[in-house]
Amino acid sequence: MAIPTKEEVEQNEEDNTFSRLQLLAQQRHAMEEFWRRSQEQIEASAGNHEHILPIDCVKNVIRPKNDAMMLSADTPTFVTKLCELFVQELTLRAWVCANSHNRDIILGTDIAEAITTTESYHFLGNVLRSHKALGSTAPDIDTSARKHIKLDQMTSLYHPTQEMQASRLAGYPPHVPIYPPIGQMGTQHKLSPFTFMMQGESLLNMKREKSLVNEVMVCTNKMSINNFDGATSIGGGSSSDVAIVVQQGETTHPFSSQNACPSLEDNYVVPMPTGHVQSFSPPTNINVKKLHQEEKNIYSQDVAEEDMSNESLEGSQKDEDLFLHEK
């Protein structure tokens, strides 16, 4: 298949509208190509192709909502193939979104953008919202002293928000990350008045200053800077931030759901939750550190590719998301 050409998004609103139309046209073209290839594959395979997804897992997903109903013999195979088509189709849409931002890596924001621009995927809005909510409140469980302090303060800081989210996410199991998130991007203060975001913002400024002085940064140095920023910002403004959070929760409950939108866009790299590694053995500390390094490399490459234009892109992305959510 032909790779969709990369666009350059400009700050002008008319240019944004034009690039939006271009994105939709590219998506339509990519989808036509995808469905044509899918039909050809179905014709050629005679229904005997090997499934990548385990059928038993698909049965487990179907079963809880269909306890009273029985499944015919062909249905699990059928649904497994259907699910594979869905994953590839949505991934391809996200790939078009990533290319429209001049990136070669698909991020969570690209998935969200693909879903919000596709009318028949409206039912996935709940998944996105719960995913964002969990992502923004993941606690830190590392054992160092500073991180312990950070963990305690984060827990007390986010206690009211977590209570609200717990009531909304009843039955959703908590994800415990193995290592803390890295690469938080800052946002405008009025959109997300949480210390979590402020921490990311100060981290972004710190990175800019560092890049002026020294291009090469040692990974351990990054970690220490990250911890220092977290401790300082949380220690400094914890009481006022708690008050802000409480006020937000009490007065404007609908706004808090909108508030959760930018958090998905900011988290480029997310720690891997335990429980998602069913199909392979849990990684050891060495493996975790290795993954950590790899993710840092990916993030550094991503930041290097779009240094200044990133902020304008993020801004337009957030505006579009908020606009679409309000519809």
Partner 1 sequence: MTNGQDNLLPIANVGRIMKDGLPPQAKISKRAKETIQECATEFISFVTGEASERCRRERRKTVNGDDVCHAMRSLGLDHYADAMHRYLQRYREGEELAASLNSSSSAAAAAAAAGSRGGGAIQIDVRAELSIFRSGNNQGRPNN
Q: How far is the CB of 167 from partner 1 (least distance, A)?
A: 12
| 249-277 per-residue burial string, b: 16 or more CB within 10 A, e: under 16 | eeeeeeebebbbbbbbbbbbbbbbeeeee
d(CA 297, CA 144): 24
**Which of 42-50, 192-200, 218-226, 303-311 is the region at the interface with partner 1 (rule: CB under 8 A)?**
42-50
Residue 205 CA: distances (Å) to CA of 80, 201, 211, 264: 46, 6, 10, 20
Amino acid at position 203, single letter: L
Q: Which is nearer to partner 1, 171 or 209 (CB)?
A: 171
Residue carrying the six token digits 């290592």: 179
Question: Token pair for residue 100?
Answer: 């429209």
The single residue among 113, 116, 135, 314 that binds partner 1, judged by CB under 8 A, is: 135
Interface residues for partner 1 in 169-208 (CB under 8 A)?
169, 171-173, 175
Q: Which is nearer to partner 1, 92 or 198 (CB)?
A: 92
Assess 3 for contact with partner 1 (CB under 8 A): yes
Q: Which is nearer to partner 1, 46 or 218 (CB)?
A: 46
Binding mask 75-114 for partner 1 (x = CB under 8 A): x-xxx-xxxxxxxxxxxx-xx--x-----xxxxx-xxx--
d(CA 18, CA 327): 20
The single residue among 5, 14, 50, 69 that binds partner 1, judged by CB under 8 A, is: 69
d(CA 28, CA 20): 12
Assess 163 for contact with partner 1 (CB under 8 A): no
Q: Tell me which DSSP letter residue 166 carries.
A: H
d(CA 200, CA 276): 26
Q: Which is nearer to partner 1, 68 or 286 (CB)?
A: 68
Q: How far is the CB of 287 from partner 1 (least distance, A)?
A: 14
Q: Which is nearer to partner 1, 123 or 286 (CB)?
A: 123
Q: Are 222 and 207 in contact (CB under 8 A)?
A: no
Q: Which is nearer to partner 1, 67 or 250 (CB)?
A: 67
d(CA 209, CA 172): 41
**Which of 33-41, 150-158, 159-167, 311-319 is the region at the interface with partner 1 (rule: CB under 8 A)?**
33-41
Interface residues for partner 1 in 234-293 (CB under 8 A)?
267-270, 272-273, 275-280
